[in-house]
Amino acid sequence: MDINALIDELAANAGDLWFLALIGAFFVMICESAKPKPAEGESRAGPQGFALLVMILSLLTPLLLFLHAFLTASGALIAIVAAIGGAIIVSAIVGWIISAAAPRFGRTLNRAAPYLAVVVFALTLYVTWESVFTFVNGFIARG
């Protein structure tokens, strides 16, 4: 099957806002992975409070995007996996390059990541809630 046809099917079924949420998640993942190594004497504490909540939201965002795309465009599974997997891998590489090449810029991006992650999660939740809710509701009703 032609990959362009699969991407067209994904775009038609998942919607434009889904792609916008995917682009937002891509940018947030770049910001999160752009944190440079700690400086001498700088310690890293584990995430607590808001940072822990943002970490959980950042993990849920790609999962919700995948579920929505799978439920609405199930015939385009390879395009879904390629789009989301590619976004995750490329954003990690770009963030790593930014943290190595421009640590101050990477630190700034990393500081903005939690706020951007909340906004992108809200958009993702708006885009995906109906299909995910229908799926969970049907799963519970059958079980």
Please tell me the predicted confidence (pLDDT) of residue 21. Answer: 95
Contact assessment for residue 117 and residue 61, using Cβ atoms and an 8 Å cutoff: yes
Give the whole-angstrom CA distance, residue 45 versus residue 58.
19
Residue 2 has pLDDT above 90, yes or no: no
Q: What pLDDT is attached to residue 143?
A: 67
Domain that holds residue 57: 3-38+47-142
Mean pLDDT, residues 12-29: 92
pLDDT at 66 over 70: yes
CA atoms within 13 A on the CB side of 32: 23
* pLDDT for 1 beyond 70: no
pLDDT score, position 126: 96
- Domains identified in the chain, total number: 1
Query: Which stretches of 15-102 are DSSP H helices?
Result: 16-33, 50-72, 77-101
Q: What single letter denotes the amino acid at residue 115?
A: Y
Rounded to whole angstroms, the Cα distance separating 55 from 57 reads 5
Contact 18, 66 (CB under 8 A): no
Q: What is the pLDDT of residues 101-128, one digit of tens each?
A: 999 999 999 999 999 999 999 999 999 9
- The model's pTM is 0.85
Q: What is the mean pLDDT of residues 38-62?
A: 80
